[in-house]
Each structure stands twice: as structure tokens, then as C-alpha cells.
Amino acid sequence: MKEKIKFLSVSDIHGSVNLIDNSRKSLYEADVILISGDITHFGGKKEAAEVINEFSKYNKNIFAVSGNCDKPEVDEYLTEKNINLNKKITDIYGIKVFGLNASLKTPSSTPNEYTSDYYKTIIKYYDSIYPDSQPVIILTHQPPFGTVCDLIGDFHAGCQELTDFIKKHQPLACLCGHIHEADGIDQIGKTYVMNPGRFDRGGAVLADFDLTTRNAEFSFVELF
């Protein structure tokens, strides 16, 4: 078993296939690529496949959730590829990764939106099986409520149920996206909340895990 693991988290790609090659050095160096949704810009399976295939040229170890700007069939594609983390807990090098897709309702009525009841159901399930003996990270498109990562002006657009879950269990990190203007890092208790912002701006989150000590370090990196 490896002692140190590098997770690279990106979000809000919006179909920018032409920019992925620019980030090849960071993609090669990571052990795992985590994608926090909006893989396409209102696209379906074909568009999602173009993005994932391009990432796969540089790193085969990819996991993802869909975003609100992905058509629901993107979830089907991710499931077919066995990389979909939505409603699923996956063990990756001894770290449990929980996934949440899509977003809450938006003024734009995008194709992949749900009410808070949808998130309550998934989070209730995660709450019932939370592994207190293992490190956990959450990969979600929708950020939790009440941090710099969900701010639009003076308005918080995050998910309260997710915040409550984080307060209760204190996972290592919540890696999110969705709010383009809210890239940044914050904390809910001991949990890091990180939104790398839009992929075309070159932002990403690097998570270095020491599996011996179970410590983790999180930082922003420039992809290009």
C-alpha cells in the first residue's frame, strides 16, 4: 500500500477539452483525478466522453460527479465507465470518498437540479454508514452552505444539509465547485472546504495524504 497519495481536484470544465493538454504535468503527477461536476456545457454522453477521454490520456485513475450544467445522461455515462461517485462511497487508497452530484434549484433552470429533499435523502444514507475509523473526503458539485465557497455577492447559495453533515462528522475535506466566482478555501470546524473555480481559469486543488499518519495537506495549484 502506498504511504502518500496525491489527489488533484478540478471543477466546472464546461467542455473545455482544448485546455486539458495544458494541465498534463499536474495530471501525470497525481495519483487520482477528482472532477466536481459541470463536465460539459449543457452536453450529454458524447460531450462527457470527449472530456473524460482527454483527461484519460494523462491519468486513467479518474472519479467524478455531474454538475447542474450536465444533462442527466452524463450520470449514465459516468456509471457506465465505473467512475461515478454520486450516491456511492468508494475506497480509494484507503480513503473513503463520498459523492454528491448536480445542484440545488437555480434561477437559470439548468438540466440537472434538485430540491433540498434530494440531498437530505442521500446525506441521511451517508450519515447512517459513516466510517469513523477511516479518513473521508466529499466530492460534490454543490458546495456546503455558509463558506466563502458558496458566496454570490452577499448571498450564500450552498446546501445546508451538507453543512450539517460536515459539522457532525468532520471529514478531512469537501471538494466542491458550481459557484464560479467563489473559488477559495474555508473551513467548517476541522474540515477543509475548497472550490477550485472554473477549469478554464487554471485552478485546481491538490490534496496530499499521508496514509501512515492520516494527515492531509491541501493547497491551490495553477494548472496552466
Give me the residue spans of the domains in the chain. Answer: 4-222
Mean pLDDT for the chain overall:
96
Residues 103-119 have pLDDT tens digits of 999 999 999 999 999 99
Cα separations in angstroms, 50 against 46, 57, 59, 114: 6, 11, 14, 26
β strands within the chain, DSSP E: 4-10, 32-36, 62-65, 89-92, 95-100, 103-104, 113-114, 136-140, 151-152, 155-156, 173-175, 184-188, 191-195, 203-210, 215-222
Q: What is the CA radius of gyration of the chain?
A: 16
Q: What does the alpha-carbon distance between residue 140 and residue 120 come to, in Å, rounded to a whole number?
A: 14
> Does the pLDDT value for residue 1 go beyond 80?
no
pLDDT tens, 155-189? 999 999 999 999 999 999 999 999 999 999 999 99
Taking residues 141-163, what's their average pLDDT?
Answer: 97
- All three cell numbers of 56, joined, read 484519460
Dihedral pair phi/psi, residue 167, rounded to 5°: -60, -40
Report helix, strand or coil for 18.
helix
Question: Domain 4-222 falls in which CATH fold?
Answer: Purple Acid Phosphatase; chain A, domain 2 (3.60.21)
Q: What is the pLDDT of residues 73-90, one digit of tens each?
A: 999 999 999 999 999 999
Nearest one of 105, 122, 121 to 178, comparing CA atoms: 105
